[in-house]
Amino acid sequence: MTSPDLWPQPLDTGWQCVSTPAGACASPADLPTQGWLAAQVPGTVASARRAAGLLDIANPPPLAFDDHWYRLTLTGTGTRRLRFSGLATLAEVWLDGSRRLDSDSMFIAHDLEIELHGSATLALCFRSLTPALAAKRSRARWRPRLVTPPTLRNLRTTLLGHMPGWCPSVQAVGPWRPIEILSDAPHAFDTLDLSSRIEDGDGVVSLTLRFVHPHDADACTASLNCGDHVSSLQWSDAYTLTGNVRVPRAKRWWPHTHGEATLYPLTLQLDDERAISGSISHSIPGSISLSLGSIGFRSIDVDRGAQGTGFVLRVNDTPVFCRGACWTSADLVTLSGSEAQLRHAFALARDAGMNMLRVGGTMVYESDRFYALADEYGLLIWQDFALANFDYPNDAAFSASIEREATQFLTRTRRFASLAVLCGGSEVDQQAAMFGLPDSMRAQPLFTEWLPAIVARERSDVPYVSNSPSGGAWPFSTNEGITHYYGVGAYQRPLDDARRSQVRFAAECLAFANVPDDATLRDALGTFHPHDPRWKAAVPRDPGAGWDFDDVRDHYLQTLYGVEPARLRYEDPERYLDLSRAVVAELMSDVFAEWRRAASSCGGALVWQLQDLRPGAGWGLIDATGRPKSALHGLARTLQPIQVVITDEGLNGLDIHLLNERAEPLHAQLELACLRDGSVKVVSASRTVELPPHSAQRIGAGECLGQFFDFTHAYRFGPRAHDVTIATLRDPASGRIVSEAIHLPERRADVRHDLGLTVRPERTADGWQLVIETQRFARFVHIIDAHYRAAHDWFHLPPNRTHTVPLLPVEKLVAHASNAMFKADATCAAPAGEVRAINAISATFYG
Give residue-wise pLDDT tens across range 470-501: 998 888 899 999 999 999 999 999 999 999 99
708: left (phi over 0), alpha (psi -120 to 50) or beta: beta
Q: What does DSSP say about strands 37-39 and 91-95: parallel, antiparallel, or unpaired?
A: unpaired
Give residue-wise pLDDT tens across range 663-691: 999 999 999 999 999 999 999 999 999 99
- pLDDT higher than threshold 60 for residue 825: no
Give residue-wise pLDDT tens across range 703-726: 999 999 999 999 998 899 999 999
Beta bridge partners of 180: 10, 83
CA 174 centroid distance within chain: 24
Beta bridge partners of 619: none
The domain 642-743: what is its CATH number? 2.60.40.10
- pLDDT higher than threshold 90 for residue 531: no
Give residue-wise pLDDT tens across range 581-596: 999 999 999 999 999 9
pLDDT band at residue 819, thresholds of 50, 70 and 90? low
User: What are the residue boundaries of the structural domains of the chain, listed by start?
Assistant: 3-181, 189-295, 300-636, 642-743, 758-846
Q: Report the C-alpha gap between 93 and 70 in whole angstroms.
A: 10
| Percent of all residues in the chain with a pLDDT value above 70, rounded to a whole number | 96
Cβ neighbours for 284, distance < 8 A, ≥ 6 positions apart:
1, 186
CA 359 centroid distance within chain: 6
Give residue-wise pLDDT tens across range 520-530: 999 888 888 88
Cβ neighbours for 703, distance < 8 A, ≥ 6 positions apart:
none
pLDDT band at residue 820, thresholds of 50, 70 and 90? low
Query: What is the mean predicted confidence (pLDDT) over 592-619?
Result: 96
298 three-class SS: coil
Alpha helices in 597-748, H assignment, sequence order = 630-636, 701-705
- pLDDT higher than threshold 50 for residue 761: yes
- pLDDT higher than threshold 50 for residue 113: yes
* Confidence at residue 816, expressed as pLDDT on a 0 to 100 scale: 38
pLDDT band at residue 274, thresholds of 50, 70 and 90? low
User: Starting at the edge strand that comes first in sequence, how are the strands of the sheet with 380-384 ordered?
Assistant: 464-465, 419-423, 380-384, 356-359, 322-327, 604-607, 505-509, 482-485
Query: What is the mean predicted confidence (pLDDT) over 230-240?
Result: 97
Cβ neighbours for 585, distance < 8 A, ≥ 6 positions apart:
630, 631, 633, 634, 635, 780, 794
Q: Report the C-alpha gap between 592 and 814 in whole angstroms.
A: 34
Among 261, 489, 291, 298, residue whose Cα is nearest residue 377: 261
- Number of residues in the chain: 847
Cβ neighbours for 693, distance < 8 A, ≥ 6 positions apart:
660, 662, 663, 664, 665
| Cα-based angle 301, 506, 327 (whole degrees, multiple of 5) | 90
CATH topology identical between 189-295 and 642-743: yes
114 three-class SS: strand
- pLDDT higher than threshold 90 for residue 796: yes
35 three-class SS: coil
- pLDDT higher than threshold 80 for residue 781: yes
* Confidence at residue 472, expressed as pLDDT on a 0 to 100 scale: 84
Q: Give the up-direction half-sphere exposure of residue 624: CA atoms within 13 A in the CB hemisphere.
A: 26
Alpha helices in 386-463, H assignment, sequence order = 396-412, 428-434, 439-442, 445, 451-458
Average predicted confidence (pLDDT) for the chain = 94
- pLDDT higher than threshold 60 for residue 282: no
The domain 300-636: what is its CATH number? 3.20.20.80
Residue 42: asked if its preceding bond is cis (omega within 30°), the reply is yes
Q: What does DSSP say about strands 788-790 and 737-743: parallel, antiparallel, or unpaired?
A: unpaired
The domain 189-295: what is its CATH number? 2.60.40.10
- pLDDT higher than threshold 60 for residue 821: no
Q: Report the C-alpha gap between 716 and 703 in whole angstroms.
A: 20
pLDDT band at residue 281, thresholds of 50, 70 and 90? very low
Q: Give the up-direction half-sphere exposure of residue 639: CA atoms within 13 A in the CB hemisphere.
A: 30
* Confidence at residue 275, expressed as pLDDT on a 0 to 100 scale: 44
Cβ neighbours for 673, distance < 8 A, ≥ 6 positions apart:
681, 683, 684, 685, 725, 726, 728, 798
The domain 3-181: what is its CATH number? 2.60.120.260
Q: Give the up-direction half-sphere exposure of residue 630: CA atoms within 13 A in the CB hemisphere.
A: 29
Q: Report the C-alpha gap between 540 and 543 in whole angstroms.
A: 9
* Confidence at residue 287, expressed as pLDDT on a 0 to 100 scale: 85
Whole-Å CA distances, 285 to 217, 223, 231, 237, 276: 14, 17, 22, 21, 9
Give residue-wise pLDDT tens across range 174-227: 999 999 999 988 889 999 999 999 999 999 999 999 999 999 888 899 999 999
- pLDDT higher than threshold 50 for residue 818: no
* Confidence at residue 50, expressed as pLDDT on a 0 to 100 scale: 97
pLDDT band at residue 283, thresholds of 50, 70 and 90? very low
Q: Report the C-alpha gap between 823 and 825 in whole angstroms.
A: 6
Enclosing H/E stretch for 775: none
Residue 89: asked if its preceding bond is cis (omega within 30°), the reply is yes
Alpha helices in 474-627, H assignment, sequence order = 497-500, 518-520, 533-538, 549-561, 565-571, 573-596
* Confidence at residue 811, expressed as pLDDT on a 0 to 100 scale: 64
Q: Where are the beta strands (DSSP E) in 632-665?
A: 642-648, 654-660
Question: Following CA atoms 346, 352, 356, 359 in sequence, which dihedral angle do they give, to the nearest 10 degrees?
Answer: -50
CA 493 centroid distance within chain: 26
Give residue-wise pLDDT tens across range 389-414: 999 999 999 999 999 999 999 999 99
Query: Does the domain spanning 758-846 belong to CATH 1.20.1530?
Result: no
Query: What is the mean predicted confidence (pLDDT) over 593-606?
Result: 97
Q: What does DSSP say about strands 356-359 and 322-327: parallel, antiparallel, or unpaired?
A: parallel
Query: Radius of gyration of the chain from Cα atoms?
Result: 29
String of b and e for 240-278 (b: at least 16 CB within 10 Å)? bbbbbbebeebebbbbbbbbebbbbebebbbebeeebee
